């Protein structure tokens, strides 16, 4: 039985129509016998919630510096997003269950980041140490589709803010998923950012590096491909980047080997 993990980016399914189309596609995949697991983040919503609380968002090397007050906001916001996504999936006929990361994974606190020779403590920020495969398999055995939000916990039970890409990579690798799919707001890797028809169907990390060197992959595309690199580095066999906002893309078709989006391999 095939297993696919979908990692949903912050802006990818912000529109209700896009979310409904995705949920319907997941339902179709499950009905055809595919197991699906979903991991989501919520960066834009978290930033808004922090600003409303008068907390200035701060990131170091792409990771959110998370003190206790920030963690409370992050956890509350992610839980709310999770509940909304689970409700949408259920409306599409999916037996979904919202799960915080600490239910299925053990995490550890990240070491301080070094910036210009200075150690900066990220505080309540962590990485995935191990994944409870039995817990996830138990959900699958009961016909449940897990929808994970990236709040982990360490061995002392302290909650930690986990980067959603790291959570997705850890879970996908541990489960040996057939494919990890990054649902973003871009069609994939393009040779010309102004021309969707220039999409590359399949590419290796070596080729990605060359396109970055040439400036073809640049700007906001770089963190997207770096998230794919992280997943491949964690042991995921292949990662597909695809647009969750394009109603011409049929997400459920990926199980039949379609060329939707861009597949990235280690190479």
> Higher model confidence: residue 247 or residue 240?
240
> How far is the C-alpha of 43 from the C-alpha of 217, rounded, in Å?
22
Output the pLDDT for position 202: 95
Output the pLDDT for position 33: 95
What average pLDDT score do residues 17-29 get? 94
Output the pLDDT for position 234: 86
Q: Which of 6, 87, 7, 88 is nearest to 42 (CA)?
A: 7
> How far is the C-alpha of 212 from the C-alpha of 189, rounded, in Å?
11
- SS percent in the chain: helix, strand, coil, step 5: 40, 30, 30
Could you report the per-residue pLDDT of 95-128, keeping only the tens digit for each? 999 999 999 999 999 998 888 788 889 999 999 9
Residue located via tokens 């996504």: 85
The contacts found for 193-198 with CB under 8 angstroms, 24 or more apart, are 193/221
Could you report the per-residue pLDDT of 188-231, keeping only the tens digit for each? 999 988 888 899 999 999 999 999 999 999 887 887 888 899 88
Query: What are the helix (H) ranges across 105-240?
Result: 133-141, 164-175, 205-214, 221-233
Task: With a cut of 80, say whether residue 30 has pLDDT above it.
Answer: yes
Output the pLDDT for position 72: 97
Task: With a cut of 80, say whether residue 84 has pLDDT above it.
Answer: yes
Residue located via tokens 């040439």: 214
CATH number at residue 228: 3.40.1160.10
In whole angstroms, what separates CA 144 from the centre of its chain? Answer: 19
Least confident of 59-63, 142-146, 155-159, 226-230: 59-63
Output the pLDDT for position 65: 93
Structural domain count of the chain: 1
Output the pLDDT for position 156: 95
For residue 194, the tally of other CB atoms under 10 A from its CB is 6
CB contact at 8 A, 5 and 182: no
Q: Which of 80, 39, 98, 43 is nearest to 230 (CA)?
A: 39
Range of the domain at 33: 3-265
Output the pLDDT for position 58: 87
> Higher model confidence: residue 112 or residue 81?
81
For residue 178, the tally of other CB atoms under 10 A from its CB is 18
């Amino acid at each position: 039985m095939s297993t696919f993990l979908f990692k949903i980016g912050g802006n990818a399914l912000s529109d209700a129509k896009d979310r409904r189309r995705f949920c319907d596609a997941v339902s179709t995949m499950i009905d055809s016998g595919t197991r699906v697991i979903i991991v989501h983040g919520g960066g834009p919503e978290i930033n808004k919630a922090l600003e409303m609380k008068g907390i200035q968002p701060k990131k170091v090397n792409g990771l959110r510096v998370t003190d206790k007050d920030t963690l409370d906001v992050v956890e509350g916001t992610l839980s709310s997003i999770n509940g909304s996504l689970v409700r949408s999936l259920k409306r599409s006929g999916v037996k979904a269950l919202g799960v915080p990361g600490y239910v299925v994974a053990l995490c550890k606190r990240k070491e301080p980041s070094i910036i210009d020779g200075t150690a900066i403590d990220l505080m309540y920020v962590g990485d995935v140490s191990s994944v409870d495969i039995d817990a996830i398999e138990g959900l699958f055995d009961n016909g449940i589709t897990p929808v994970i939000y990236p709040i982990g916990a360490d061995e002392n039970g302290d909650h930690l803010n986990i980067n959603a890409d790291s959570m997705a990579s850890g879970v996908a690798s541990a489960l040996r998923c057939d494919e990890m799919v990054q649902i973003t707001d871009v069609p994939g890797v393009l040779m010309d950012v102004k021309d969707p028809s220039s999409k590359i169907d399949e590419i290796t990390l070596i080729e990605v590096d060359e396109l970055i060197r040439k400036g073809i992959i640049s700007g906001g595309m770089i963190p997207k491909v770096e998230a794919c690199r992280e997943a491949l580095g964690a042991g995921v066999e292949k990662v597909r980047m695809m647009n969750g906002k394009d109603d011409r893309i049929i997400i459920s078709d990926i199980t039949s080997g379609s060329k939707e989006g861009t597949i990235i391999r280690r190479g």
